[in-house]
Structure formats: structure tokens, C-alpha cells
A and B are shown apart, each in its own frame.
Chain A
């Protein structure tokens, strides 16, 4: 294991003095373990995971307000609550924020927090690059949202089709912000993907073969591979658009003979893997939650793994089903209709396996489990409407109607976000050391289920009635009034469901503080995977020693064994066999300013591209300085006492002299 066992074997190459803490003489090495400075400089994958999650929830509130504005506008016919221009911006930014700044980063939050814990590693492979990924995402997201105040947001739909995305049709800077902001979050995704793939492939605990990894790790691994290969494609599309908009190139200039279909192809080669990489982490989460609360191992572990891999591969072969009406020709349409129908198979395998896991299990219907079952049912509805899009003739009728809107909200909200909610309730004690309130949790769940289905269910009907997406308003006589009204009612119920969750977070914290901070113990759910074999909240050094992995659901098998009659018996309590959380002698990667500074240089360059190229000079300067500062700074601070850890800080001085 990379960061294990090595403090004193580790030798600096000649020429470096130990403790060269400020290579460029600018900063002394950050040492804080608490407070703002710690959060700004941390390289701890758990803190970074928490930051990913909190930032995503913050952006979710912005995207959610945008959603409510859309619904208010559409609640009544001929409404003028939002002007057509404002409406364009609001729905474009709603989609962009929810996809790039909410669903993807919540997936990244879970992956960051859980992957090292579930494979038995001390941190990710490149802790500083991990911090860099987070800051790129967060600053890129802030930059994208700064467009609200700097001339208006992007207004071409989340996919910003060419030539509508050109300066001629969208003269504000909105699309430039969209472009540059997403290029920056793309860097975050790409560097994160490289980092996490390396971590999963190379830093597993002894005995943890690939086929003994938890399903969540597998699904995240597939997700990161999808990012690895999909992000460069959108990067190129956005660079071409940037060249067009900022430097007068002609990539999408139809007068010059350009074919705007190129944008659609590049966008959807990225865009379809994108939808799978949004849902797969949620699939992984429910694949951990359901076995735990059904008290059964996951049904068909290898099928779950291989169907995930199959989804990953086939995800790159179906993109043109977004383009059935774009005139790509019957041959292409037929081929992509076929491949799209095939990709329903591995997804169906997963649904079947979850149901088979539930079947005959001793179900505990707590909030995490309810949200998981919510995912299965609602995702199935979305999946079935998805099959109707795979049929090209029927899709020709559905394209650009509310039927599509209903479909992707059922898979992404009813699927991905419900899965994430299950994950929040399930892993909250491991992250924060206290449980979320179950009673409020159930209210949260039922409010969200009712609100969600009332919002998006009627959109199926509206779509089949012919209501087009992205239209600012509709006429009284069109017959869309009734269901639009109820969808708006539903959206407010849904929003109050999300607020119930946020209330629950603070309420649970408050009650826990008042009750004298009782510790839920390492294993409150009698769970299956090894992140429950360490204390709650997870200690800073994760594992005291390398866990030795024997089987899938290794922690479960440490607790349960068959007796002589072949009957399953509990042989140990999780709390008794859990690692005590003693970080003595553990050497952790040191915090650093450079990831934040390097990430901060990117929006500066971005604003420069949009407003004045002069601004790219300080941005570029900051980038070069940060790169060299980073490269010349040792990843480890050798002056940092070994074994600093929240449980055993008093041992720090001794530990630094102990050979482990």
C-alpha cells in the first residue's frame, strides 16, 4: 500500500534537505489541522469528499431555484413571469448546473470518500491532484454561475447546439461562460478520473482482487473510465466553439461550408457516456445499501460487475440516438436504434438483480432502503420510457417534447439523486459520526416521492399531447393547462422534500450535540464492507493496519460464519473486531497550497478569454508559479510529526521516532 509503512524507509534524493517546506520561498508549508486554512489546503480524500458534497448541494440550491422559476412560468398559460430571454437562460443553466455541478460532483463526492475506504487504502494515489480536482470543479462552477451577474447565463439549452451557439444567435457572454466554466470542470473530472482509476487498480488492500471489490468500487471504476474517455471529446467540442466565438474561427460557420452536425456528434459522444457516468455511482450505492438491509448478499455479484462494464462499453456506441431527427440518414438511425435497444439489457440485469436481492430478504425499511427502492422503481419507469425512444419512429414523435423531459428526470432525479439520498443516509455516520434522524428521513423520502412523481409523471402526458420542451409559454387553448398546473404543485412539494433533508442534517447535528455526541459505533448497520470495520467518523489515517481481504463483503464474513449444521451464526460484533483507530506511526501526505492556487489560475485565464486577453497574463503567471511550486514541493512534509491523528495526537512526538 502506497502510503503505508514507509516513513523511515523513505529517503530524499541527494540535494534535497528534509523539510524544504517552501520551495519558492513564498509560503511556509500549511500545518493547520482545523479551521478554514485546513479546508483550503487539505489533501485528505475524506475532507475533499465532504467538500465535493457540500459544494454540490450548494449548487443544487441554485439549480433548484432555477427549476422552480421554470415551473412558476409554466404553471399558467400565456404567463409572462419570465421573459423569453430569461426563460432561455434559466432552463439552460438549470440543466447545466444540475448535470455538471450537482449529479457528477455528488458521484465524485461518494467516490472520493468511499473508494479508499472500501479498498482498504490510506488515501488516493495522488492526494494533491485530488485537491486540485476539487478546486477546479468548485472554481469552474463558481465561474459558470458568475455569468448570472455578468451579462446573463448561457441560453442555448444544456447541449448548446450549433449554429445556435454562435455569436450571431447568442451574442451575450453566457455561452462563453458555459464553455470556459465547463472546460475547467472538465479538467477536474479528467484529473480525478486518472487519480481514482490509479487508486482502485493499484492501491487495494492485500487479498482484495478485482472480483472481491464492493460493487460501489466497481461502478465508480467504470464511471471514471467513462470520464477518462468522454471528457476529451467535450473538451475538443468546447475548444472549437471557443475558437469560433472568441477568435473568429469557422468550425460551425455554415456560410463557410461547416456542418453543424459535427457539434452534435462531438457533444453526444461525450453526452451519452455522461448519462451513464451520472447513474452508475447511484447504482453502486444502492448495490451496497440493499444487501445490507435485506440481510442477503447481492444477487449475482459477477453479473452486477459485468453488466456495469458492459454499460460502460456500450455507452460509447449509442450517442446518435439523440440525433434521430437531425438527418443523419436511415442507415445510421437503424444502427443506433439497435445498439440502444441492446444497452437496455445490462441495465435490466441490474434491476433484476436488485429485485432478486430483495426477494426473500429480511427487509429493514429505513430511509436509506426506502430511497434505494425508490431508485429501482423510478429508474425502471425512466428506463421503460427510454426503450420507447430507442424505437426511431416513435422517437421522431417524442423528440423535443416533455416526454423526453419526463424520461430523463425519471432516470436522473428519480434514479441518480434518489440513489445519492440513500447514500447520504447510509454513510452519514461514517462521514460525520452521527446518524441522520429516521423520522425526518421518512418524511423526507415520502415528500420527495410524492413531489417527484407529481412533477414529472404528468410530463409524460404533456409530451405525448405534443407540448414542446424549451418553450417559454403555451396558449390557453392547447390543452396543457391542467397537467402543467399539477407539475408545478409537485415541484414545490419536491422542493420542500429537499428542504426537509437539509433541515434533517442540521436538526440531527443539533440533537446529537445536545445528547452529548454519542458515538454510533463503527458498524451501526451491521454492514458488509470494510469501511465499517474502522471507527466512525473515519479516522484521518483510515486504517490502522492493512485489512486482509478474504472474500466479497469481507467484513460481513468476519462477523458471521456457518456452524456445524450449516446455519449462519453471528460470531463477532462489528464494534469488537473493528480497528481501534490508533494512528500511531502513520505518516500522511501533507497539505499544500498549490492545488488551490493552480486551480485558481484557470478561471483567471477564463475571464481573460472572455473579457480581455490581458487578464490571461496574471492567470498564466499564477499557473506557471503554481506548477513549479507544486513540482518542487515534496508531497510529504518530513517535519510533520508522524502519526498525527485525531484520536492519538499526544503520541505524535513519540511516533515520529518509532520505526514501523
Chain B
């Protein structure tokens, strides 16, 4: 996106933040692929209980953040004027979802 052409509309110009290069996108993808491989590996190592679940959840969240941050450009939009709004709109959904659904699952656990 680095100032190659002159876009006819204004919104192009304030999108013009240092988005990653093609190589960087490939590297991020490789990182994601490695984490996925690790996840699968971990699930085969015979752990059970928290030793299995916690690392898997952590790796899942790392992947989530990388895709949202790099591929969905949230990290770069954050630097843009008011760009935090995008992250906030998305994060609001995630936070509400986490809060209500964790509570729902918990009420089934603690119903004595």
C-alpha cells in the first residue's frame, strides 16, 4: 500500500500506514503454520487435563490475535486516527460473548 498510485478517493490516503510487505505476510503465515503444527503435536503427546488444555488454549489465542492483528490489519489501524474504534467494536463483541457464555457454561457446572 506504500504510496504507489494516487487514489481518487480520500480514504485511501489515511489507509496508507506502513502495512506489512509481502515477505512479512509470508513470515506471519509461516509462524501460524508452525503454531498449528505445535498444537497438533501437543494433542498427540498424551497429556491430559490442564497440561493438555492450557497450552492449546494459549496457542489458539496467539493465532487469533495474530490473524486479527496482522491479516485483519487491526495493529496498523490502531495507529490511524480513531482507528481504535474498529478494534473496540470487535473487542466489545468478543468481551460480551466471553462474559455471557462463560457464565452460561459455569451455571451448568455450579448448579448445586
A and B touch in the complex (CB under 8 A): yes
Q: Are B111 and A265 within 8 A (Cβ)?
A: no
The smallest beta-carbon distance between B23 and chain A, in angstroms, is 30
Q: Are A229 and B92 within 8 A (Cβ)?
A: yes
Which of the residues A201, A261, A319 comes within 8 Å of B108, measured between beta carbons? A261
The smallest beta-carbon distance between B91 and chain A, in angstroms, is 12
The smallest beta-carbon distance between A229 and chain B, in angstroms, is 5
Stretch at the interface among A90-98, A323-331, A481-489: A323-331
The smallest beta-carbon distance between A224 and chain B, in angstroms, is 12
Q: Are B96 and A320 within 8 A (Cβ)?
A: no
Question: Considering the complex, which residues of chain A in the window 252-280 have a beta carbon less than 8 Å from any beta carbon of chain B?
Answer: 259, 261-262, 265-266, 269
Q: Is A424 an interface residue (CB 8 A)?
A: no
- Hey, which chain A residues are within 8 Å of B107, CB to CB? 265, 320, 328-329, 332
Q: Is A11 an interface residue (CB 8 A)?
A: yes
How far, in whole Å, are A269 and B102 apart by their CA atoms in the complex? 12
Question: Considering the complex, which residues of chain A in the window 220-244 have a beta carbon less than 8 Å from any beta carbon of chain B?
Answer: 225, 228-229, 233
Question: Considering the complex, which residues of chain B in the window 19-62 have a beta carbon less than 8 Å from any beta carbon of chain A?
Answer: none
**Given contacts A11-B8, A229-B93, A259 and B108 within 8 Å (CB-CB):** yes
**Given contacts A265-B104, A316-B96, A316-B99, A201 and B85 within 8 Å (CB-CB):** yes
Write out, one digit per residue, whether chain A residues 196-228 have a CB within 8 A of any chain B CB (1) or not (0).
Answer: 000001000000000000000000000001001
How far, in whole Å, are A11 and B107 apart by their CA atoms in the complex? 56
In the complex, the chain B residue whose C-beta lies closest to that of A11 is B8
The smallest beta-carbon distance between B110 and chain A, in angstroms, is 5
The smallest beta-carbon distance between A226 and chain B, in angstroms, is 10
**Given contacts A11-B8, A201-B85, A269-B104, A329 and B110 within 8 Å (CB-CB):** yes
Q: Are B100 and A332 within 8 A (Cβ)?
A: no
How far, in whole Å, are A487 and B110 apart by their CA atoms in the complex? 42
The smallest beta-carbon distance between A235 and chain B, in angstroms, is 13
Q: Are B99 and A331 within 8 A (Cβ)?
A: no
How far, in whole Å, are A11 and B100 apart by their CA atoms in the complex? 46
**Given contacts A265-B107, A320-B107, A329 and B99 within 8 Å (CB-CB):** no
How far, in whole Å, are A266 and B100 apart by their CA atoms in the complex? 10
Question: Considering the complex, which residues of chain A in the window 112-137 have a beta carbon less than 8 Å from any beta carbon of chain B?
Answer: none
Q: Is B112 an interface residue (CB 8 A)?
A: yes
Q: Is A608 an interface residue (CB 8 A)?
A: no
Q: Is A317 an interface residue (CB 8 A)?
A: yes
How far, in whole Å, are A340 and B84 apart by their CA atoms in the complex? 31
- Hey, which chain B residues are within 8 Å of A262, CB to CB? 104
Q: Are A328 and B100 within 8 A (Cβ)?
A: no
Q: Are A332 and B92 within 8 A (Cβ)?
A: no
How far, in whole Å, are A47 and B22 apart by their CA atoms in the complex? 48
- Hey, which chain A residues are within 8 Å of B99, CB to CB? 316-317
- Hey, which chain A residues are within 8 Å of B85, CB to CB? 201
How far, in whole Å, are A585 and B88 apart by their CA atoms in the complex? 37
How far, in whole Å, are A266 and B107 apart by their CA atoms in the complex? 13
Q: Are A328 and B111 within 8 A (Cβ)?
A: yes
**Given contacts A11-B8, A229-B92, A320-B107, A269 and B112 within 8 Å (CB-CB):** no
How far, in whole Å, are A233 and B96 apart by their CA atoms in the complex? 11
Q: Are A331 and B110 within 8 A (Cβ)?
A: yes
The smallest beta-carbon distance between B35 and chain A, in angstroms, is 29
- Hey, which chain B residues are within 8 Å of A319, CB to CB? 100
The smallest beta-carbon distance between A196 and chain B, in angstroms, is 14
Which of the residues B93, B100, B106, B108 comes within 8 Å of A269, measured between beta carbons? B100
How far, in whole Å, are A259 and B8 apart by their CA atoms in the complex? 57
Q: Are A329 and B8 within 8 A (Cβ)?
A: no
How far, in whole Å, are A317 and B102 apart by their CA atoms in the complex? 12
- Hey, which chain B residues are within 8 Å of A225, CB to CB? 92
- Hey, which chain A residues are within 8 Å of B106, CB to CB? 332
How far, in whole Å, are A259 and B100 apart by their CA atoms in the complex? 18
Question: Considering the complex, which residues of chain B in the window 70-112 have a beta carbon less than 8 Å from any beta carbon of chain A?
Answer: 85, 92-93, 96, 99-100, 103-104, 106-108, 110-112
In the complex, the chain A residue whose C-beta lies closest to that of B93 is A229
The smallest beta-carbon distance between B89 and chain A, in angstroms, is 8
- Hey, which chain A residues are within 8 Å of B110, CB to CB? 329, 331-332
Q: Are B104 and A329 within 8 A (Cβ)?
A: no
In the complex, the chain A residue whose C-beta lies closest to that of B104 is A265
Which of the residues B8, B93, B96, B111 comes within 8 Å of A332, measured between beta carbons? B111
How far, in whole Å, are A319 and B100 apart by their CA atoms in the complex? 9
- Hey, which chain B residues are within 8 Å of A332, CB to CB? 106-107, 110-111
- Hey, which chain A residues are within 8 Å of B111, CB to CB? 327-329, 332
How far, in whole Å, are A265 and B107 apart by their CA atoms in the complex? 10
- Hey, which chain B residues are within 8 Å of A329, CB to CB? 107, 110-112
- Hey, which chain B residues are within 8 Å of A328, CB to CB? 107, 111
- Hey, which chain B residues are within 8 Å of A229, CB to CB? 92-93, 96
In the complex, the chain A residue whose C-beta lies closest to that of B107 is A332
- Hey, which chain B residues are within 8 Å of A269, CB to CB? 100, 104
The smallest beta-carbon distance between B9 and chain A, in angstroms, is 9
How far, in whole Å, are A225 and B111 apart by their CA atoms in the complex? 31
How far, in whole Å, are A266 and B99 apart by their CA atoms in the complex? 13
- Hey, which chain B residues are within 8 Å of A316, CB to CB? 96, 99-100
The smallest beta-carbon distance between B30 and chain A, in angstroms, is 34
- Hey, which chain A residues are within 8 Å of B103, CB to CB? 320
The smallest beta-carbon distance between B105 and chain A, in angstroms, is 9
- Hey, which chain B residues are within 8 Å of A265, CB to CB? 104, 107
- Hey, which chain B residues are within 8 Å of A261, CB to CB? 108
The smallest beta-carbon distance between B36 and chain A, in angstroms, is 28
- Hey, which chain A residues are within 8 Å of B112, CB to CB? 329
The smallest beta-carbon distance between B69 and chain A, in angstroms, is 22
Q: Give 14 A-B pairs besides A265-B104, A332-B111 with Cβ atoms closer than 8 angstroms.
A: A225-B92, A229-B96, A262-B104, A269-B100, A269-B104, A316-B99, A316-B100, A317-B99, A320-B103, A320-B107, A328-B107, A328-B111, A329-B112, A332-B107
List, sorted by A's number, 16 A–B pairs whose CB atoms are closer than 8 Å: A229-B96, A233-B100, A261-B108, A265-B107, A266-B104, A269-B100, A269-B104, A316-B96, A316-B99, A316-B100, A320-B103, A328-B107, A329-B110, A329-B111, A332-B110, A332-B111
**CB-CB nearest 3 A-B residue pairs:** A329-B111, A332-B107, A265-B104
